[in-house]
Structures are given as structure tokens and as C-alpha cells.
Structure 1
């Protein structure tokens, strides 16, 4: 029995039986909770998909092999002194259908605490069985952004064409590892297209439910995976949260001051982003030059032009006669007798 066989159990019918030629080229959405899930954006996105769309389990992972219960203790319900229920920490791969009947896969549940490499290999094996050729991974990170501005979703991926038109990270960085990142790395090395989407959640509400993060992730998923998803329920939740936040800002001058500072920072950053996009002459990562830098560059250009003009003038005076004769002789139909002012007439 292989490592992956012990790690998950295939549901009936298994992915190989469900896959057809029409399913080739499926997208797999990876939405694991526990890492980079500010505002519960990843959890809400996966729950919304399961509640709104038809789905069937393809494989169920053995969480005893993957979860450290002391670091992620499941909730237990006591009813009048009696233990009656325990939270189910299920980690499951589903086959979904969007509103138009287009199939895709969803891997959701708690991020494994243990055996990331074996887990990644198991996911890659299931992706191959199911006809998956691209993955989209959800993240939600606390950022210094205000809730009063449009939500930002930043993309990273193995295929430059897939992230074209999306906002991307503009610097090299080292971040804490995650099981999802291990999956992305393994699948991209195997030739599959991988895309990661990170919703920027206002840091001051990162511990609360923020449905706008889930909406931003799913709305971006629609465009990159060519899916049609029902999102109206999330829009209603977003309106409620916005109203609650607006009331809190109105009631607190301190909160209003913080939000105002974040708005100014956000607007300045967006302005820089627009300038970078509009200036096609800039190299990747190059900043837009300041007015002083542009003036200095113009002065240097004019100075070099004047120096070249002086050199050309000296050379032209020495050979002026010869050059004129050579030039006029070469002109078709030119006759010096036709020019009474010509000294050589």
C-alpha cells in the first residue's frame, strides 16, 4: 500500500470513474483554512461554494495522519453535562459544477499540520486522476488597507499569461511556508499551471468575518477560471458588514483618524500603480522619475547636442567648398549656368 493510499480514501465513484473527455482541463480550487485566512475569507469562500453549488465528494483525507489536535483542538459540545458532539475536521476534495454546469474541483478543510510533502504528492496524484491541469489557491492576508476602498486581490503564478491584467507582487520576498505553497511548487514543477490569489484584508478587522474577502477571491476566480458563480448572498453580507463598520467609524474619532490615514496611503499607492501601468517605457520594477530627475536629464541631453553641433560646424567649414561642389554635381539636372550667383559659373 502506497503512502497516498493511506492518506486519503476515494469516494464512490472515484475520480477516474467520474472523469470524462469533457472534463479534461479542469480547474482545482485549493481553499485550506489555518494559514493566511484573515477575515475568514478563505473559509467563507469555500463554504459559500459548497452551500450554493452542486457537489460530490471525490476523496476524503485521513486527518489523523495530518492534524496535530493539540495545536488545532476541535470544538466539543456539552449539553447539560453530557458530551453530545464534536467538530468535524474534514479535509475533502469535491467535484463541483458552477451555475452553467461547468465542472471544477474544490479541495477544502484545515491545512495539515504534518507531512506536507506527502500531502502535496497525494494532491498531485488526485489532480492527475481527475484531469486537472490548473490550480487556483486562495489566501487572505491582513494588510494596511482601509475598508472604505475597493478590495485588492494580488496574484502570483507559474504562467505569466494567466496573471496578466491582475495586480502582482513587485518585489522578491521570503514568507512563511504553507502546505498550499508546497502544493503550488510541486504542481508547477510537474508542468501544471498554478495561480495564487491573496485578498488584502484591513488589518483592524482581520480577526472578524469579512465577506468582502471571500467575494473578491470568488469574483477573481470567475475571470481566471472562466466560471459562473452565484455571489448575491455574499453581496448582501458585504452590505451588512459595511454598514456596521460605517457606524463604528462615525462613533469613534480615533477609528476615523486611522481609517483616514489608511485611505490617503491607499490612494497614493493606487496613483503610483497607475503611473507604472501608463508608462510603458519603464523597465519592470523601475520607478517613475521625479521632476528634478527629468530636468537634469534634459539639461544633459541639450549639453551633449550643443557639443556635437560645435564639432560638426568646424568640420563643415574646412571642407565647405569641396562638399558644395560634390553635392551640386550629384544633383540630377543641376546646371551651374542656371545660377547667376554661383562663383564657379
Structure 2
């Protein structure tokens, strides 16, 4: 994937947005489905890795899965063999796994959908996912993707937020996607969820195309920060932030060894810095300060 399916959508600047999750009566819980798929929609595996990080952080428990035989070409997405703790060989089949977790100190439950983009029957596949969403009382859907883009590794990773839900766009001051062209399973699921009446947004992180290999911790971190804002739940990302810093230093070192790459990175940096100058408002600073205060309050005894 090398172009936004929501390339004109919000990237964090602009008018203040209302919250994604609407207030509910005291004691009621809200359920959000977070979905990411390995493959075409997952540059640097940033999208799938970000949900794996969050699922592990919150101790998600597997509640369902989708049978792989119906949807995968095993010559393209091959099963793998691994050894368990006892040294026994075990085949691991491609699949879509569904986990449930509760965000700490909040009324938000999260359904994680993690798997590989299917090979066949996308309409049946997304319909089956929506059956699980209904059974798990999902109220909102957040689809997470990553794409390759002409962005410098040394600047904040852009995350685009888009939605085809007109009332949601108006409430959150988002723009409609202007993208036309091939789509992955993320785009198909977005339409299906919207037709089912579920408020849906899509997040896309832009991964520097010259360091496309996995992992991409800086893009993961950018996606998690956006998810943190949508769910209004503080996340402990200190470990991942350290990995992102180490990743950036490693790319810096590689760039210094290749004059052409170094010159190209400087060109991207200059273009990015010039484009960002008019956007130097206080909103992003205020948003970061609010995140800091929430984490600080969470750390207090």
C-alpha cells in the first residue's frame, strides 16, 4: 500500500474536535472494535504490531476466531511450524483472532481483531466479522492501517484519520476521503461497518518508504497515541518510545553511510518543515499536555 485511502483526512491540526466516544450514563460501558490486518494495509507491520502491543498491555483474552480454510490461499499465506515449550512441533495456521480486554480505569471495553488480510470471499469474511461485532455488543469501530510514504524518519510520523460516516465527520471535524483506486480489507470492512450502523473511523500511519521493513516502532507509537486520543484512555508506551528512539538513531546511522540517502532525507525534512510552518498552532501542544497530565494522574498513588 503506497497511498492514503484517506489522503485528505485529518492529521491532527485544525479546529478542535469533539470526542469520538459519546458520553453514556453512569455505570454503562462502551465497546470499541480495533482491527488491523497483516499484508497490503500494514507497511512495516506498524498497524498489526500496534494492536499486538495494546492487546498485550491490557491482557486481552481470546474470545473467538475465524476459520482459515474458507478465506486463505495457503500457498500464498503459508502455515508455519514452531516448537512448543516441550520441544514438540506444532503447525500454526493463518487465521483471524478476536480478543477482548478492558481499558484500565475506564468504562471502555476493547475488541481486538488481528489477522492476515484474507485471500478469498471478502464480503463473506467481513459479514462474519460483523456477526462477531454484534455478538460482542460493539458500539464503535476503529480500523488501523499503515502505508509507505515520502516522509522523513526524523520527524513525527503522520497519522491520517478519516471516516465515511457523515454525522461522525461533522462532529469530529474530519474530511471525507478523496481516494479512488484499489482498496484492501480495511477499506471493505469500513464500508460494511458503516452500512451496519456502526460509527467507524480509519487511522493510517505514513511509514518512510526507504525504511519499510518491520518493525516500525515509531509508526506504532504514532498510531497508539491517536488511539489514546480516540478512546480517552492513557497508555503506557514508555517501552515502545525507547524502541522508537533506538530505531530512529539506527536509521540516522544508516543514512550517514550513504550520501544519496542522506541528501534525500534532508530534502524530505525540508519539505516537511516548510509544510508544517503554517500549522504551528497551540492545539497539538495542548493535546500533548493533556496526555501528560492524564499519565501523571495515573502514576500517582
Q: Sort the TM-score into its range (normalised by shorter chain).
A: 0.7 to 0.9
Match of 1:245 among 251, 254, 266: 251
Partner of 1:155: 161
**Structure 1 CA distance, aligned partners of 2:116 and 2:200?**
20
Using the size of structure 1 for normalisation, the TM-score is 0.66
- Displacement after TM superposition at 1:60 (Å): 1.0
Instruction: After TM superposition, give the deviation of residue 88 of structure 1 in Å.
Output: 3.9
Distance in 2 separating the partners of 1:90 and 1:208: 20
**Residues of 1 paired with 2:171 and 2:81: CA distance?**
43
**The one of 93, 96, 118 aligned to 1:91:** 96
Provide, for residues 87-130 of structure 1, a one-character-per-residue CA deviation record: whole Å limited to 9, x for no partner. 44231111112232532111111111111111111111221221
How many Å separate the matches in 2 of 1:34 and 1:72?
10
Cα gap change, 1:204 to 1:61, in 2 (>3 Å): same
Distance 1:160 1:111 in 2: 27
User: Separation in 2 of the partners of 1:50 and 1:89?
Assistant: 19
CA contact (8 A) 1:98 1:229 kept: no
Shift in Å, 1:161: 4.2
Higher deviation after alignment, 59-68 or 224-233: 224-233
Residues 1:100 and 1:256: Cα distance change in structure 2 (over 3 Å): same
Give a deviation string over 1:137-190, Cα, whole Å, max 9, x none: 0110000000111110001112214643x7x67x72213222222121011122
Structure having the higher helix fraction is 1
Query: How far off its partner does 1:229 sit?
Result: 2.4
Change (3 A) 1:162 1:222: farther
1:175 and 2:181 matched: yes
Partner residue in 2 for 1:216: 222
Residues 76 and 83 in structure 1, CA contact (< 8 A), matched pair in contact too: no
Q: Is the 8 A contact 2:161 2:202 kept in 1?
A: yes
| Residue pairs, 1:47-86, within 5 angstroms | 47-76=52-81, 84-86=89-91
Contact persistence 2:40–2:184 (CA under 8 A): yes
Q: Which residue of 2 aligns with 1:9?
A: none
| 1:162–1:178 Cα change, 3 Å | farther
In structure 2, the partner of 1:35 is 40
Q: Partners of 1:103 and 1:55 in 2: how far apart?
A: 10
**What is the CA–CA distance in structure 2 between the aligned matches of 1:111 and 1:23, rounded to whole Å?**
33
Assess if the C-alpha contact under 8 Å between 1:138 and 1:196 holds in 2.
Answer: yes
Larger relative contact order (CA 8 Å, sep ≥ 6): 2
Q: Contact conserved, 2:82 with 2:90, CA < 8 A, in 1?
A: yes
Match of 2:50 in 1: 45
SS at match of 1:132: coil
- Evaluate the alpha carbon distance shift between residue 108 and residue 23 of structure 1 in structure 2; reply closer, same or farther with a 3 A threshold: farther
Secondary structure of 1:41's counterpart equals helix
- Tell me the distance in 2 between the aligned counterparts of 1:162 and 1:105: 24
Q: In structure 1, what is the equivalent of residue 136 of structure 2?
A: 130
Contact 1:44 1:214 in 2 (8 A): yes
- Cα RMSD after superposing both structures: 2.6
Q: Is the 8 A contact 1:24 1:132 kept in 2?
A: no
Partner of 1:113: 119
Name 1:104's counterpart in structure 2.
Answer: 110
Change (3 A) 1:162 1:52: farther
Structure 2 runs not aligned, ≥5 long: 1-25, 284-301
Show structure 1 runs of 5+ residues with no match: 1-20, 278-345
Aligned equivalents of 1:22, 1:31: Cα separation in 2: 29
1:182-212: CA deviations, max 9, x gaps? 1210111222110000001101011231111
- Bigger mean CA offset, 62-71 vs 41-50: 41-50
C-alpha distance in 2 between matches for 1:131 and 1:255: 49
Please, what TM-score do these two structures have when normalized by structure 2? 0.75
